[in-house]
Chain A
């Protein structure tokens, strides 16, 4: 580097597998069209659950991974690998062949390999310890998805795995920004993954009364900001973005989606699961991210809200956005279409925010038929909004009081 100033960071690749599609193009097309990826869980194991709807991956990750390799990977690891491969190719890194000591991975998961843990526990009880798979530990460890992504591309510049519940993959992207700014790597594969659509997590979230029980109307169940909202709908999938030092991307002629201009992390210090009703630290995360980007709140045209369709969370966030950003941003919650991907949510929603900035279109919040009386901001209700988006925020908040805001800017 010839300059000692903080390097700028841009996004040069995107990858995703979601309930709306097996890649970014199909996911984005589904979002802009306002399609729901939520379906009835018709498997036998769901019959006795209070919640029988979810957003399963539209394209099973095992369709894209060698059979023998796939059987040694938890579903969350499979999804991360599929998304990371797409992002790597999309960024043109295959032909660029970067110095691997200058590439890092920051891919987190909210829950990780819980499916493997439960399956192998069942096996232990049924058939004894000798029949437990020797692949159990690398399948259930929460750094497993990041490690598999690192191995796929022989990454040598550090492999990291944030864990902050539903803020995980936004935090992972924020960490990626820090890694490049501090000079520890030039390219970071950043994002998150989640695949916990099976009985124990569903029963656990349902026991908290956090989930929608609108079992008869799956596509209408996730309805952020609507009076009829009754909890979140679980989704599964993964999202990975390629973050790259801007001068490196320019030098190799890479296609740049947007600039990751700023990020901020705060914590509520309030409750293990309830967000602080004052939203003080949510608002501060947004203000800090905007300041980190060198922008003013009035520059923010759009906010991709965390809004999960829970009665308390959605309106608290609206108040925090008003306080931190003002009245001008057009808000949306793409969870109305994908459901809540927990540790993958921040990455999927970052991708939606990046494409909103690039394409000048804010995807809709579907099912917003009867807006909450406290909804005092402009939401892109039910249909996509064509508009200039010079800069936008993506908010992610997690159980434990984790608040993360990312600021993306048009290039």
Chain B
């Protein structure tokens, strides 16, 4: 899966779960500060991403995923 495909998949999840405009989703954007994803919604995003990309994202990894780019990189490295 390419980084573009992962980013597009994340944008779909962010729109569905948190009402984020897909066109706002870019690597440098922070989930909490720039995309306004609150803590409970972040849990939903993580679980949905695990399902969609077939990847495990442990709870202690989530604080390291500050930006969309962090998440894309993590998924790229860890996807089955």
In the bound complex, residues from chain B placing their C-beta under 8 Å from that of A135 are 40, 44
Majority-rule SS of B interface residues = helix
Interchain CB contact under 8 A, A67 and B44: no
Majority-rule SS of A interface residues = loop
Binary contact readout B4-31 vs A (1 if CB under 8 angstroms, 0 otherwise): 0000000000000111000000000000
Is A134 engaged at the interface, CB distance under 8 Å to the other chain? Answer: yes
- Whole-angstrom distance between the alpha carbons of A358 and B19 in the complex? 43
- How many chain B residues touch the partner (CB < 8 A)? 10
Chain B: minimal CB distance from A139 (Å) = 11
Is A68 engaged at the interface, CB distance under 8 Å to the other chain? Answer: yes
In the bound complex, residues from chain A placing their C-beta under 8 Å from that of B41 are 134
Chain A: minimal CB distance from B16 (Å) = 8
Chain A minimum-CB-distance residue to B19 = A68
- Whole-angstrom distance between the alpha carbons of A103 and B66 in the complex? 38
Interchain CB contact under 8 A, B40 and A68: no
Chain B: minimal CB distance from A148 (Å) = 14
Is A296 engaged at the interface, CB distance under 8 Å to the other chain? Answer: no
- Whole-angstrom distance between the alpha carbons of A318 and B7 in the complex? 66
In the bound complex, residues from chain B placing their C-beta under 8 Å from that of A133 are 44
Chain B: minimal CB distance from A71 (Å) = 8
In the bound complex, residues from chain B placing their C-beta under 8 Å from that of A68 are 17-19
Is A42 engaged at the interface, CB distance under 8 Å to the other chain? Answer: no
Is B47 engaged at the interface, CB distance under 8 Å to the other chain? Answer: yes
Residues in A66-105 with C-beta less than 8 Å from chain B: 66-68, 72
- Whole-angstrom distance between the alpha carbons of A66 and B19 in the complex? 9
Is B43 engaged at the interface, CB distance under 8 Å to the other chain? Answer: yes
- Sample 17 A-B pairs with CB under 8 A, ordered by A number: A66-B19, A67-B19, A68-B17, A68-B18, A68-B19, A72-B40, A130-B47, A130-B50, A131-B47, A131-B51, A133-B44, A134-B40, A134-B41, A134-B43, A134-B44, A135-B40, A135-B44
Contacts A68-B19, A133-B44 known; list 14 others, CB within 8 Å.
A66-B19, A67-B19, A68-B17, A68-B18, A130-B47, A130-B50, A131-B47, A131-B51, A134-B40, A134-B41, A134-B43, A134-B44, A135-B40, A135-B44
